[in-house]
Amino acid sequence: MKTAALLFIICVHLVSGGSHSLQYFYTGVTRGINFPEFTDVGLVDGEQFVYYDSNTRQMIPKVDWIKNNEGPEYWDIVTQFAQGHEANFKANVGIAMQRFNQSGGIHTFQWMYGCEWDDETGATDGYEQYGYDGADFISLDLKSTSYVAPVPQAVITKQKKDGVAAEFMKNYLTQICIYWMEKYVQYGKSSLERKVPPQVSLLQTDPSSPVVCHATGFYPGKVMMSWQKDGRDLHEDVDVGETLSNHDGTFQKRAELNVTPDERKKNHFTCVVEHKSGDPIHMILTEEKIRTNSAGTGSSSNNPPVTVLGLVVAALVLIPVVVGVVMVVKRRSGERRSKQHQ
């Protein structure tokens, strides 16, 4: 297995309106690849603000607003906290391998937890989830204050964590986490409340491949992307991706349109990008606006080729977050949407 296959891109769980979030992602990886055995990443409103790994063994600030507001004592405490989890995670990877009857290979064990706060309504929420090799392992149900084990290998963990550990985590998520999130939001208010508009491009590998509407560099991360055909929203032949974080704290998203060159000539297609930074952006699909590698198509001689997209993805891979929990986050987002309709 190639190392790159293990460097999953984080899919940030975004909140809307006047909501704020504080999240932590811990990842333990088996030895044998060019990646730290343990990483710890903290995010506020989707922006990475602290980072720790088993190579440096030091929690470091990733944004000025936390660096300028917390002193040596804070960094000593969070570093010791991370070092403790590092030891636990190295052991947990081995334990999980035993439970799944695995004697070798590359494996990951992840822990994601966080809280959310709506500063307009005062509503709060929290969550804690574990993943192994990119699949759900165990999660906390805040309502029942008990753990849910979707796989037999996690039943032992559930039995150990139900009770005192579950009560402790619920208290942390509903009180302590909210306290620190409010503090961090005040620290980074000017940065977290900024509005940066997206840069929108149309990309295509060759004339027969989908046309990608790519929006990047925007903040905050909530954005709506869609394709229209002759002025009407198009749902078929459209694939809208997840919102992903860039290395500089901004976000990117893509929406693919699967149509033939003949269909594009006969109809009027437009990519619509809606972001709170300004009016909706309407990118009309024309051959001249497409950036492509294919010679003689679009304006490849005047625009960067579609490999620009590859470079963007490569930059994302460098984000120090290994997230097999991508699937976990997706699932949580889906559960949240379903709850809103119950």
Name all domains of the chain by residue range, CATH numbers in brackets: 8-192+319-340 (3.30.500.10), 199-305 (2.60.40.10)
Amino acid identity at 16: S
Own/partner long-range contacts of 120-126 (Cβ < 8 Å, ≥24 apart): 120/17, 120/18, 121/18, 124/174, 124/178, 126/170, 126/172, 126/173, 126/174, 126/177
Confidence of residue 18 (pLDDT cuts 50, 70, 90): low
How high is the pLDDT of residue 294?
53
Amino acid identity at 291: R
Query: Tokens 């989908």, residue?
Result: 210
For residues 239 and 256, the answer to whether their CB atoms sit within 8 Å is: yes
Question: Average pLDDT in the 303-330 region?
Answer: 37
Q: When comparing pLDDT for 276 and 7, which is higher?
A: 276
Q: Is the pLDDT of residue 256 over 60?
A: yes
Distances (CA, A) of 303 to 39, 212, 298, 309: 38, 15, 9, 13
Pinpoint the alpha helices (H) of the chain. Answer: 64-67, 72-99, 155-161, 164-171, 177-187, 189-192, 261-266, 307-317, 326-340
Phi-psi region of 145 (alpha: psi -120 to 50; beta: other; left: phi over 0): left
The neighbour count for residue 310, using CB atoms within 10 Å, is 11
Q: Is the pLDDT of residue 340 over 50?
A: no
Confidence of residue 242 (pLDDT cuts 50, 70, 90): very high
Question: Average pLDDT in the 137-146 region?
Answer: 96
What is the dihedral angle through the alpha carbons of 82, 88, 92, 94, rounded to the nearest 10 degrees? Answer: 110
- Global pTM reads 0.69
Own/partner long-range contacts of 147-156 (Cβ < 8 Å, ≥24 apart): 153/96, 153/99, 153/100, 154/130, 156/99
Per-residue model confidence as pLDDT tens digits over 30-83:
988 888 999 999 999 888 999 999 999 999 999 999 999 999 999 999 999 999
Query: Tokens 């990117």, residue?
Result: 252
Average pLDDT value for the chain: 82
Pinpoint the alpha helices (H) of 29-134. Answer: 64-67, 72-99
Q: For residue 220, say if its preceding peptide bond is cis, omega within 30 degrees of 0.
A: yes
For residues 28 and 89, the answer to whether their CB atoms sit within 8 Å is: yes
Q: Is the pLDDT of residue 299 over 70?
A: no
Per-residue model confidence as pLDDT tens digits over 114-128:
999 887 788 899 999
Q: How far apart are CA 295 and CA 256, in angstroms?
A: 21
**Structure token digits, residue 65:** 């607003």
